[in-house]
Amino acid sequence: MTGTANKLVRKQGKLWGFVATFGAWLQALDYTSFDYTQDRIDLLERKVAALTEELRASRASSPRDSAP
């Protein structure tokens, strides 16, 4: 008798696990305009950082004029 009760609990656990996974998946699909704006800002900040580093590297490798 306890064996069948344990099987029912495991099946219910699988069902609730699926429901929780499905709910998390639905939340991941919820992409608001704020999320979009934040992602764009993050992308622009990374590009500015990369360009700043590229400029710093090009200035370091270019020959400098020495003062007379």
Q: Is the pLDDT confidence value at 40 over 60?
A: yes
Handedness of CA 38, 40, 43, 45 (dihedral sign): negative
Calpha distance 57→50 (Å, rounded)? 11
pLDDT of residue 1: 47
Tokens of 15: 């069902």
The model's pLDDT over 6-17, given as tens digits with 9 standing for 90+, comes to 454 456 678 888
pTM: predicted TM-score of the whole model, two decimal places: 0.49
